[in-house]
Amino acid sequence: MSLPVVIRRKPTRTVTVRDLKIGSAHPISVQSMAATRTQDVEATVRQVKLLHAAGADIVRIAIDSRDDVEALILVRAAVPQARLVVDLQESYRLAEKVAPYVDKIRYNPGHLHHHEKDLPVSAKVKFLVDVAKRFNLALRVGVNFGSLDPKQKETGNKDSGENGRFAPALASANEHVGYLEELGFTNYVVSLKSSNPNDVVDINKQFSQMHPEVPLHLGVTEAGLLPLGGIKTRVAFEHLLALGIGDTLRASLTVPFDEKGEEVLLSKAIIADVYAGRFRSVPRFEHSGLNIISCPSCSRVENEKFVELAQAVRTMATPFAAQHDITIAVMGCRVNGPGETDDADLGLWCAPTHVNLKRKETVLGKFSYDEILGRVQSELELMIAARETE
């Protein structure tokens, strides 16, 4: 459907990532993330080049150790033309080590508690800000529903309607915006991501009202396999972009490593469609039947079989479970895996040599990659049989 539209972007301030400007006065930028192990320098360089050639304005790489930092130095030397952002995961003090080689740092408020537990979070944020100021870097506060700050999860009231359900994530984002503003640092963006596109729309609208000046990075995390992953992404992006919300974005798809450029192409296509008045999605994402959530094969993945496993789960389950309202989450790493699988009927997250399996929040065990598909099928069959007898 094509309609004449005039989109007025909500005014946000400008954030600088090397020579790239992010904010309402500038074109919406597109990002993606390397899916390779960072220490596999040859593969990571190839992936960064692939994403850069596809049109990614920024490419993210995960860093979680000093060995990763050494690899990053080599990657930067091989692709000086690419703007790089690092995902610090749990090791926030590595910011100082990576800073000379990147243009932006993303940190997750939910991970700052892992190290130096006696040090206040505000002090850790000050460390990051001091590094960013010294090296002229941008920051992203990346709030993810699957890895929320434990303190906020405990205090947030998730049973008081839609607004209350978002309270922990909003509280986390608000807390860190407060820290950054108190430190006089404004060269940052915020992201609030969920695997549910409706939640992404609602929480970003709320944050935009609370902090209209802060540029927003949009994304549906773990959107999953195509074509449904593309539909989820389009639903969220079309709604928010049409409201003038969103200054940079990333599509998170489960695709083979050599096809990661699809994330960039999808993002660019959605932006072009919205500004041309071509809307292909629906007012809300209403999905019935089998729903497979899977993450975007990023550089945190600990076994490359993850993508094949997500595809195999869909192939196995679709013939007999397609009409049942069952959600299966297939996660590739320990960072988002445990949290993102809590709300799924069946949740899998992958380790280097095994796959963890859960039914809701109950851990069923660890299984080899050869065993897991059969066990998932058995659990699915039992779940369907139980529902049919209710």
The mean per-residue pLDDT over the stretch 77-85 comes to 98
Q: Which CATH class is domain 15-275?
A: alpha beta
Residue 289 pLDDT > 50 = yes
Amino acid at 360: K
Residue 160 pLDDT > 50 = no
- Mean pLDDT over the full length of the chain: 89
Contact between 218 and 200 (Cβ < 8 Å): yes
Q: What is the pLDDT of residue 158?
A: 47
Instruction: State residue 87 phi and psi, 5-degree precision.
Output: -100, 115
Question: Hey, where are the domains in the chain?
Answer: 15-275, 291-388
Looking at the chain, the whole-number percentage of residues with pLDDT higher than 70 is: 91
Under the banding of pLDDT at 50, 70 and 90, the label for residue 118 is confident
Lowest mean pLDDT segment, chosen from 78-82, 218-222, 320-324: 320-324
Separation CA 350–CA 164 (nearest Å): 31
Q: Higher pLDDT residue, 334 or 30?
A: 30
Residue 222 pLDDT > 80 = yes
Residue 156 pLDDT > 90 = no
Q: What is the pLDDT of residue 285?
A: 66
What lies within 8 Å, CB to CB, of 376 at 6+ separation is 313, 316, 317, 328, 346, 348, 357
Under the banding of pLDDT at 50, 70 and 90, the label for residue 282 is low
Pairing of strands 248-249, 291-294: unpaired
Specify the pTM.
Answer: 0.84
What lies within 8 Å, CB to CB, of 292 at 6+ separation is 224, 225, 228, 310, 313, 314, 317, 327, 328, 329, 330
Residue 52 pLDDT > 90 = yes
Write the CATH number of the domain with boundaries 291-388. Answer: 3.30.413.10
